[in-house]
Amino acid sequence: MTKKTPNPIDRHVGSRVRMRRMMISMSQEKLGERLGITFQQVQKYEKGTNRIGASRLHQIASILGVPVAFFYEDMPGGEATAGFGETGNPVYISEFMASPEGLSLAKAFMKVSDPKVRRRIVDLVEAMVAASQTEGK
């Protein structure tokens, strides 16, 4: 018997559920409790192993405080449309925000109120990237 791989759309929707849940600092246990399911089921949704039904996705969106469309933004293989001819965020931004490090970095960065300090942080990170690229050559 072969193991079925998750559908890319189910994985994307699940990763967006995870990203939003982490953005609001909600545990899988808490989300599961609010949905009336186990945290293991939430894990399966987030990995795309189990497909999320329409009514369940609506319930998740309500709990996480986002529209259902949020879970489909930047979907692989589809045109990302933001309306009025704008393009959606590149996929790497969604992937970054879905990672624990990316989310932590973004939250910390948003707490810095001084624009000059923010600019210096960006300059520092860019310098670190440039240094790491020259070391690898």
Q: Is residue 26 located within the same domain as residue 43?
A: yes
Query: What is the count of structural domains for the chain?
Result: 2
Give the three-class secondary structure for 83.
strand
Q: Supply the pTM of this predicted model.
A: 0.66
Q: Is residue 93 located within the same domain as residue 121?
A: no
Q: Which domain holds residue 127?
A: 104-137
Q: What is the CATH number of the domain that holds 24?
A: 1.10.260.40
Q: Is residue 80 located within the same domain as residue 22?
A: yes
Task: Determine, yes or no, domain membership for 18.
Answer: yes
Task: Determine, yes or no, domain membership for 91.
Answer: yes
- Please tell me which of 6-10, 29-33, 113-117 the model is most confident about, judged by mean pLDDT: 29-33
Distance, in Å, from the CA atom of 126 to the CA atom of 15, rounded to the nearest integer, reads 27
Phi, psi of 40 (to 5 degrees): -65, -35
Segment 95-112, tens digit of pLDDT = 777 778 888 888 888 888
Segment 49-87, tens digit of pLDDT = 999 999 999 999 999 999 999 999 877 765 544 444 445
Q: Is residue 55 located within the same domain as residue 14?
A: yes
Q: Is residue 78 located within the same domain as residue 126?
A: no
Task: Determine, yes or no, domain membership for 3.
Answer: no
Phi, psi of 51 (to 5 degrees): -75, 140
